[in-house]
A and B are shown apart, each in its own frame.
Chain A
Amino acid sequence: MDPLRQSPSPSSSRASSPRTFSCERLGYVGIEAVLDQLKIKAMKMGFEFNIMVVGQSGLGKSTMVNTLFKSKIWKSTMPGLRVPMPQTLQLHSVTHVIEENGVKLKLTVTDTPGFGDQINNDKCWDPVLGYINEQYERYLQEEILITRQRHIPDTRVHCCVYFVPPTGHCLRPLDLEFLQRLCRAVNVVPVIARADSLTIEEREAFRHRIQDDLKTHSIEVYPQKSFDEDINDKILNSKIRERIPFAVVGADREHMVNGRCVLGRKTKWGIIEVENMAHCEFPLLRDLLIRSHLQDLKDITHNVHYENYRIIRLKESHALPRGPGWVNLAPTPSPTPTGTRASPGPGKVCRWAEDDSDEDF
């Protein structure tokens, strides 16, 4: 007598009926108040963001970080000061808590002094990859505990800013190798460092050459084309992709220009204003990293890169009896990026489209 008997058996694991009805709203209910609830919860918990800067010494990494977050994250190394050149690549992290308008952000910045500085730079990307994987590993270990913490501390690298030296020609072999390996494990944003040594035309030419290089070697930098959800995202992200890599200048000193106090670099021939779009593209970088895509960076790290790492890890622990448990993302030199990363799906709804048989627990 009950015609609408759908999925009634309580022993079925998925009880929601395949039919979902779209109903007419007849009046106020208050569902949209859930957005405020979300905001309150988020503000209470605070946010975390981990950024890594990679590049040779002298490219202005520390200055850039200071400029991005408008505070002295690090003491920027002054030229002329005797800084001992590190013999091997080191990773150097600092964490700060910054607050703006009630929003707390726990920021971790990882620097890589010594990258690309040696005579023989072979495998200099290994420590970086190792560090990134180590953070994934840490998160994974926390996640598979029986008694888990309420909020697993997130130390995974959300974004890696790669500084390209302003040669004006094209990407160097070191850059290419590094970018190829890293773009599969983490979101990479390449920037042209010290762009004040290039004129506007040189910048554009350099940018185009870099874009061509990236395309030839199938290096997908953030924002990845394959993760665009809908048409709005596509439009927005294509605009960004046209301007990648941004030509940036970093500065942490203030100067007076036309009565305003601006951040900039003072030279004999003028003052380069960091926040002026006509001078450099720093505002674009800042907007991308902080104002508009921060959450997206974290999402992609969590949903894609971390999941890929997890898949590899779990599959591997089936195969090898007692391996060292370390995933060395030794890349295949093939041009296709589908070595360790899943093939791109049509949208966020299925962020990967590899249809292997599911390995159940």
Chain B
Amino acid sequence: MASEVARHLLFQSHITAKTAHTSSQVSDHEQKQKDSPRSLTMSGHVGFESLPDQLVNRSIQQGFCFNILCVGETGIGKSTLIDTLFNTNFEGHESSHFYPHVRLKAQTYELQESNVRLKLTIVNTVGFGDQINKEESYQPIVDYIDAQFEAYLQEELKIKRSLFNYHDSRVHVCLYFISPTGHSLKTLDLLTMKSLDSKVNIIPVIAKADAISKTELQKFKIKLMSELVSNGVQIYHFPTDDETIAKINASMNGHLPFAVVGSMDEVKVGNKMVKARQYPWGVVQVENENHCDFVKLREMLICTNMEDLRDQTHTRHYELYRRHKLEEMGFMDVGPENQPLSLQETYEAKRHEFYGERQRKEEEMKQLFVQRVKEKEAILKEAERELQAKFEHLKRVHQEEKLRLEEKRRLLEEEIMAFSKKKATSEIYQNQTFMTPGSNLRKDKDRKNSNFM
């Protein structure tokens, strides 16, 4: 035990363990390394500038994965917006308004643009905001996101794992659709966003923005953002640390939430066919920046920040989940005496504990089982005995009945015999009287008599 702890101490302070073989030179140089690696200038072209290209090639081979969660009321335009964003007709039918609970429906699609393959998973909330009692609305969404993190954590903690071809299903971005009332956020929206903001990158969008006029839109946006800030909801801000995209990201941050319009129908404007919605009073063009912020959303979501969204999900939200989960299970980095504990040690200890517990429970259940079996056996024996007694009784009754019937039969047979004897004698007598002629009268009499008998 002590050696394990000591070993971790050594590692944690980055000093190589002094084994019999490795010399102290390594540790000196490691220290120097820690301080600052020396910069070196090369006298010629080495060629590792192709490294980013090598990395990109590998990524192209592997393909990318992106998961979007759309949260919003039924009918607010989630599916249409996704269709418009990715320029594809994903799914054709409308959802019903009558689901008793909020459910999440996930579908995966494989898109390809030039040589980039994207595995896109779109998760829709079905029935959100439709119920009369909306208390349970956001819990399924939180559960879903946690379930994806859990799945990844399980894979990561496996002994034999294959992370590089694991289909990453963690939600990278959540598009929250706000309905264009023009006033403020609904309570449901606030609550949902509040419970999601530490688990996923939230980008709020104002759906069906063609229902609001420009001036109202400005006021609405300001109201929304101030409400979000005052309620402490952390939405995703586009990163501004890299100079190449800092400027554009910063300006986009000022346009949040994006007011979008989605449409896959094409309308002829001028001499081009553009995606638009046609009204009697005009045509709302989806890709026109004056009409709505759709292009901005597409830029930000896909072209500029997709990688950052994935990165944030992995390094911030997932790590947070992982830390909470492991701490919940009782693991710590630092033991009771402030000495670094290893995950394995704690795991071992817990494992023994649980094992002992399990043994005990097994014993208990065995005992219970044995007892129950005994009881049942006793009952069954009792029933058997009763049955036996009944059987005996019935047998006796049958015997008696049989004897009686035998007796009756005997009597009957005696009677039959007597009768047949009488019949025989009367016949003989009849024949005799038939031989003597002067006794017709008597014969008649006898015949009558015999008929009588």
* Interface residues of A, Cβ cutoff 8 Å to B: 1-17, 19-35, 37-44, 47, 49, 68-73, 88-103, 105-106, 108, 126-127, 130-131, 134, 137-138, 141, 144-148, 150, 229, 286-287, 290-296, 299, 303, 307, 310-311, 314-315, 317-318, 321-322, 324-325, 348-352, 354, 356, 358-361
Contacts and interface: CB of A to CB of B under 8 A. Distances in A.
Interface residues of B, number: 118
B252 to A, nearest CB: 15
Nearest to A23: B88
B46 interface: yes
Interface string B18-30: 0101110110011
Given A11-B147, A20-B108, A317-B344, A150 B37 contact: no
B272 interface: no
B38 interface: yes
A122 to B, nearest CB: 13
Shortest beta-carbon contacts, A-B, top 7: A295-B54, A37-B307, A10-B144, A361-B157, A127-B21, A30-B303, A33-B303
Contact of B119 (A20, A93, A229, A349): A20
Nearest to B124: A8
B310 to A, nearest CB: 9
Interface string B229-249: 000000000000010110000
Contacts of B148: 13, 15
Given A24-B88, A303-B164, A361-B157, A146 B331 contact: yes
A295 B58 CA distance: 8
Among B1, B39, B307, max chain A CB count under 10 A is at B307
A185 to B, nearest CB: 16
Interface stretch (B109-117, B203-211, B389-397, B439-447): B109-117
Interface in B111-154: 111-116, 118-119, 121, 123, 126, 140-141, 143-144, 147-148, 150-151, 154
A138 B303 CA distance: 37
Contacts of B57: 295
Given A7-B106, A73-B40, 8 more contacts: A25-B88, A41-B308, A93-B29, A94-B38, A95-B32, A134-B16, A310-B159, A358-B160
B409 interface: no
Contacts of A354: 160
Contacts of A29: 85-87, 111, 113, 298, 302
B25 A95 contact: no
B107 interface: yes
B151 A39 contact: no
A70 B327 contact: no
Interface string B192-227: 000000000000000000000000000000000000
A20 B118 CA distance: 11
B11 A137 contact: yes
Interface of B: 1, 3-4, 7-8, 11-12, 16-17, 19, 21-23, 25-26, 29-30, 32-33, 37-52, 54-61, 64, 85-91, 93, 95-96, 103-116, 118-119, 121, 123, 126, 140-141, 143-144, 147-148, 150-151, 154, 157-162, 164-165, 167, 169, 242, 244-245, 298-299, 302-308, 311, 315, 319, 322-323, 326-327, 331-333, 342-344, 348
